[in-house]
Every structure is written in C-alpha cells, then in structure tokens.
C-alpha cells in the first residue's frame, strides 16, 4: 500500500532544466546537449521569458550562459536569490576563466546552489551535466530503457466497485518503478520521459502482458475487468490491437475484460492517429474509457464519434464534490452527459464515504479511490477481495457477485 505524497516524490526526481544564453546558437547547442543527457529542457535567450518560465515551469536545474552580458548574468542571479531559487545552477562561458570564477563566487555569496562552472568547449558541458544527473538522482532515458528491459516496472492495482451493488467490477493497473537505489518512482515522472523518447510501444506491450498475467493468476470471475492506461504516443504502435488480441488468446482471456483508458487531452490532441487503433480494439471486444474527463477541452462531437463506453471523471472534481458547489454541479453535469451518450460513469479519487454516498445518489455507476482501496500489489488483491466481500455493507439486491476460484 502507498502512503507517501506524490508531489514530494515528483519534485525530487524532476529532470527539468532551464537554459538561458542570449546568443541563440549557444542556447541551442546547450539545449541539444542537455536533451541528449536526458534532461527535460527549455531554452531561452530572453531574461523576461526566463523569469516567467522559472515561475511557472519550476526547473530543478538551470544553465546560465555567460554570453548573457556579465551584468545581466549577475542581475539574473540576484533575482533568483530573491525568488528563493533552490535549483542547481551551472554557469557556462566561452570566454576566459576569470569572469566564470567571479560569477560563481557572486552566486554563492547570494546563497544560490551553484553546481559548478564550465568553460566551453561543449564536451566539458556534457560531462558536467551528466555528473549533475548522476549526483542528483535524475532519471535518464538510458536508466528507464534498462528498467523496462529488466522488468523493474510492475503494476499495482486499484479496485473499482459498482455503486449499486458494491461488487468489484475491475481493477485499474497503475505502473510503479521500484528503482533498486532510489526507491519508488511515480509514473508521472517516468512516463513523460518514455513518451518523449518514443518508447511507449514496448512499455505498453509489457504492461498489457503483465496485467493479463496478473488477472489470470488472480483467478476471479470472468466478468472482472482490468483497465490499462494508454498513452497518446501509443499511436506509434501500429500493431497494438494485434498485440492485445494475441496476448489475450495466448493467455485464454477474453479481450472484453480489458478496458483501455485514454486521457481526454491525448484524445483531443492525437484523436486522428489514435482512433483507428482504438476502434479496432473496440471491434474485438475491448472497452474504451475517457480518462481524466473534465481536465481537457473535449469536442463533444469527437467524444461521440469514438466508441467509448465509459467516462472517468477526473479526481480533481470528485474529491471536493460535496464541499465545493461548483465541483458538485460539474460532476452532476458530467454524469448526465455520459448517460445521455449511453456511457457508464466512473468517479476516481473517492476519498470519503460522504463523497461515495453523494455519487451514488447522483447516479454515478462506478467508484474508485482511497476510500475503497489504495493501489496494491497483485499479491494483496485476493485477501482484499475476500475482506471486501465480507464487509460489504452497501450491497444491493444483486448480492455478492464475487467468484474466487481457489
């Protein structure tokens, strides 16, 4: 079971690097090297743009190129100090070493976290950036490719229950990377890196295979489903539908037990590319679910054109739908919309009994969240299922539907 706050873990492993150098060619070269090392990099040549990105994007690393005129470089550092900047700062320059040393001393005197200085040429910058990476526990693309190959990434499962009967209708599989040295690394940190490096195809293949193995071993009733998160970049996996079909056949599991969750944002940005694959998977029996609904800007027409059978209301609305009138109104509207489009509604992020009761009253179909259970490793699922079947105070006429085959 998990209890550590997500945000802390995300910031600790962030690989965001903001580069400023007023010479465009230098900024571009630094950016290229940084990306090659695996940093999530934004470059800029403009101090105002730099300051605005610093505030909104919150980089963990900064490279200041000293072709930014010396004075401007110092002003920038003074500003960063006032903003209580915690980022590690690397100062680079093509010019002689002395101004670099002075800038470094000035930065330290301001209390900034100066990771070092680099006197170009660029290969020295690459080494410095890699050293910072290794020391700072940043995740590199190589690290994650190795982790996927070594099967260090596993799935944990979070139950979903029918709000009428209380019966468990399925589980959402959520990826976890248990890094041998750095401990648990949350998916929000490593999935964007996989996406940026077109590595989702292999990853999703492994996730599907793992989910099918786990559901096979769990041996629950044949109508219990498993939900898998599909990334927008899975469009690259031309054979994804084929892969899902083959794996299901090999493991003797009906494709209809699989739900593919696609975020609303992915759907809208890549709808054309994704939709063929999703439609084919739906044709062979998979259910399609719109994830994080309410956070993107859906065209309702697009939503209706694709064969979705489920709409998942984002947890940001669900969590405070009782205490916040606006969230409550939106949740009810989303339930109505989904039902009018003949879709089932899942509410994620159900953290209290009060919220669960309210959702049931509003006619929501399925609930998922910490109040019901936190995501758990597959070995904990069977005991949890038994416990849930025994304590279910909210079962409707349908009675227990849980079939456990021993």
In the complex, the residues that contact ligand C2E under the rule CB under 6 A are: 6, 158, 174-175, 186-188, 191, 207, 229, 231, 261, 291-292, 315, 348-351, 369-370, 375
Nearer to Ca ion, 40 or 291 (CB): 291
* DSSP label of 138: P
Structure tokens at 274: 């994704």
177 - beta bridge partners? 153, 185
Task: Please report the DSSP string for 214-261 in residue order.
Answer: HHHHHTB-TT-EEEEEE-GGGGG-TTHHHHHHHHHHHTT--GGGEEEE
Instruction: Kindly report the number of other CB atoms within 10 A of residue 352's CB atom.
Output: 14
Residue 269: CB minimum distance to Ca ion, A: 16
Residue 242: CB minimum distance to ligand C2E, A: 19
Instruction: Kindly report the number of other CB atoms within 10 A of residue 4's CB atom.
Output: 10
For residue 9, the Cα-to-chain-centroid distance in whole angstroms is 13
Element (H, E) at 183: strand 183-185
Nearer to ligand C2E, 18 or 271 (CB): 271
Overall size of the chain counted in residues: 406
Nearer to Ca ion, 73 or 173 (CB): 173
Q: Which are the contacts of 134, defined by CB distance < 8 A and separation ≥ 6?
A: none
From ligand C2E, Ca ion, none, interface partner of 188 (C-beta below 5 to 8 A by class): ligand C2E
Nearer to ligand C2E, 129 or 139 (CB): 139
Q: What is residue 189's three-state secondary structure?
A: helix
Residue 314: CB minimum distance to ligand C2E, A: 7
Work out which of 13, 15, 224, 229 binds Ca ion, going by CB under 5 A. 229
From Ca ion, ligand C2E, none, interface partner of 186 (C-beta below 5 to 8 A by class): ligand C2E
Residue 229: CB minimum distance to ligand C2E, A: 4
Please tell me whether residue 310 binds Ca ion under the rule CB under 5 A. Answer: no
Nearer to ligand C2E, 44 or 229 (CB): 229
Nearer to Ca ion, 160 or 237 (CB): 160
Please tell me whether residue 368 binds Ca ion under the rule CB under 5 A. Answer: no
Please tell me whether residue 292 binds Ca ion under the rule CB under 5 A. Answer: yes
Q: What is residue 39's three-state secondary structure?
A: coil
Work out which of 40, 143, 234, 261 binds Ca ion, going by CB under 5 A. 261
| Interacting span for Ca ion (CB under 5 A) from 107-115, 260-268, 356-364, 376-384 | 260-268
DSSP H helices in 141-219: 141-149, 187-196, 200-218
d(CA 329, CA 333): 6
Work out which of 264, 291, 310, 365 binds Ca ion, going by CB under 5 A. 291
d(CA 374, CA 367): 12
From ligand C2E, Ca ion, none, interface partner of 38 (C-beta below 5 to 8 A by class): none
Instruction: Kindly report the number of other CB atoms within 10 A of residue 117's CB atom.
Output: 21
HSE toward the beta carbon, residue 279, CA cutoff 13 A: 11
d(CA 310, CA 284): 17
Q: Which residue has the tokens 């993107």?
A: 296
216 - beta bridge partners? none
- Structural Rg of the chain based on CA atoms: 25
End-to-end CA distance of the chain: 24
Residue 207: CB minimum distance to ligand C2E, A: 4
Residue 36: CB minimum distance to Ca ion, A: 31
| Interacting span for Ca ion (CB under 5 A) from 162-170, 198-206, 225-233, 382-390 | 225-233
From ligand C2E, Ca ion, none, interface partner of 14 (C-beta below 5 to 8 A by class): none
Residue 234: CB minimum distance to ligand C2E, A: 7
Residue 140: CB minimum distance to ligand C2E, A: 19
From Ca ion, ligand C2E, none, interface partner of 375 (C-beta below 5 to 8 A by class): ligand C2E
By beta-carbon distance, which residue lies closest to ligand C2E? 369
Residue 290: CB minimum distance to ligand C2E, A: 11
Residues of this chain that interact with Ca ion (CB under 5 A) are 229, 261, 291-292
């Amino acid at each position: 079971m998990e209890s550590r706050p997500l945000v802390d873990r995300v910031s600790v492993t962030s690989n965001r690097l903001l580069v400023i150098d007023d010479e465009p060619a230098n900024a571009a070269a630094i950016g290229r090297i940084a990306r090659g090392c695996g940093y999530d990099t934004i470059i800029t040549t403009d101090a105002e743009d730099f300051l605005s990105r610093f505030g909104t994007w919150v980089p963990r690393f900064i490279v200041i190129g000293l072709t930014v005129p010396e004075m401007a470089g110092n002003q920038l550092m003074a500003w960063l100090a006032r903003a209580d900047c915690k980022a590690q700062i690397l100062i680079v320059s093509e010019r002689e070493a002395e101004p670099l040393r002075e800038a470094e001393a000035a930065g330290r005197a301001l209390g900034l976290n100066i990771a070092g200085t680099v006197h170009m040429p660029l290969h020295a910058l690459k080494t410095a950036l890699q050293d910072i990476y290794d020391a700072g526990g940043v995740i590199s693309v190589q690290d994650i490719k190795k982790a996927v190959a070594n099967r260090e990434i596993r799935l944990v499962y979070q139950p979903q229950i029918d709000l009428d009967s209380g019966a468990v209708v399925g589980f959402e599989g959520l990826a976890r990377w248990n890094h041998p040295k750095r401990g648990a690394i949350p998916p929000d940190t490593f999935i964007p890196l996989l996406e940026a490096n077109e590595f989702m195809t292999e990853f999703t293949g492994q996730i599907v295979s793992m989910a099918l193995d786990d559901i096979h071993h769990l041996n629950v009733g044949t109508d219990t489903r498993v939900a898998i998160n599909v990334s927008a970049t899975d469009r690259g996996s031309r054979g994804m539908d084929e892969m899902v079909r083959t794996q299901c056949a090999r493991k003797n599991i009906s494709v209809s037990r699989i739900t593919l969750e696609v975020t609303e944002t992915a759907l809208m940005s890549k709808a054309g590319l994704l939709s063929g694959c999703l439609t084919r998977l739906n044709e062979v029996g998979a259910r399609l679910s719109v994830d994080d609904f309410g956070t993107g800007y859906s065209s309702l027409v697009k939503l209706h054109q694709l064969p979705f059978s489920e709409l998942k209301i984002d947890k940001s609305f669900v969590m405070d739908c009782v205490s916040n009138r606006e969230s409550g109104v939106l949740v009810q509207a989303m339930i109505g919309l989904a039902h009018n489009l003949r879709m089932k509604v899942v509410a994620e992020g159900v953290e209290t009994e009060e919220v669960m009761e309210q959702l049931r009253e509003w006619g929501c179909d399925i609930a998922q969240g910490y109040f019901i259970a936190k995501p758990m490793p597959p070995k904990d699922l069977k005991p949890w299922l038994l416990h849930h079947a025994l304590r279910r105070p909210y079962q409707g006429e349908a009675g227990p539907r849980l079939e456990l085959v021993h």
